[in-house]
C-alpha cells in the first residue's frame, strides 16, 4: 500500500469553479501535510501546510485535514487557467521523511 495516495486525474474544471483535490495516507503517525504545485518542467512550489484537524485558509486555497479518516484535501476557489498544474500531496513520516503522492493533474478551462 502506498503511503500517500492521490487520484492522478486529470481533473478538469471550468474557470471560476471550485477545484477539489483529495489525498489519503496510510501512516497514522503522520503529523504534517503539505500541498505543492508543480508546473511542467519546474520544481514543486509550496502552497500550504496543515497539521491540525480542520480547515486552513490562505487566499483562494483551503486545506482540510481529517486525521480520523486519514484524509487531506485542497480546495481552490475561483479557479484560474494559471492554476493548471500538477498538485502534489505530501506527508511527513518518521521525522524527516517527506513522502509524496503521485500528484493530481488539474486543468482549468477558460
Partner 1 sequence: DTEVTQTPKHLVMGMTNKKSLKCEQHMGHRAMYWYKQKAKKPPELMFVYSYEKLSINESVPSRFSPECPNSSLLNLHLHALQPEDSALYLCASSQTKGESSGNTIYFGEGSWLTVV
Shortest distance (Å) from residue 78 CB to partner 1: 25
3-state class (DSSP) for residue 22: strand
Q: Return the range that interacts with partner 1 (CB under 8 A); candidates 18-26, 63-71, 76-84, 101-109.
A: 101-109
Does the footprint of partner 1 cover residue 32 (CB under 8 A)?
A: yes
Closest-CA residue to 89 (of 78, 98, 79): 98
Contact 34, 101 (CB under 8 A): no
Residue 32 and residue 49 in contact, taking contact as beta carbons nearer than 8 Å: yes
User: Given the complex with partner 1, which of 8 and 14 has the nearer CB atom?
Assistant: 8
Residue ranges that bind partner 1, judged by CB under 8 A = 31-32, 34, 36, 42-46, 49, 51, 88, 92, 95-103
Amino acid at each position: 500500500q502506498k503511503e500517500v495516495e492521490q487520484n492522478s486525474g486529470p481533473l478538469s474544471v471550468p474557470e471560476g469553479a471550485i477545484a477539489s483535490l483529495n489525498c489519503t495516507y496510510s501512516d497514522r503517525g503522520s503529523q504534517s501535510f503539505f500541498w505543492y504545485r508543480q508546473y511542467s518542467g519546474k520544481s514543486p512550489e509550496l502552497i500550504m501546510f496543515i497539521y491540525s484537524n480542520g480547515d486552513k485558509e490562505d487566499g483562494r486555497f483551503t486545506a482540510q485535514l481529517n486525521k480520523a479518516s486519514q484524509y487531506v484535501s485542497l480546495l481552490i476557489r475561483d479557479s484560474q487557467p494559471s492554476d493548471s498544474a500538477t498538485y502534489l500531496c505530501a506527508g511527513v513520516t518518521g521525522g524527516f521523511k517527506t513522502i509524496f503522492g503521485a500528484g493530481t493533474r488539474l486543468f482549468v478551462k477558460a
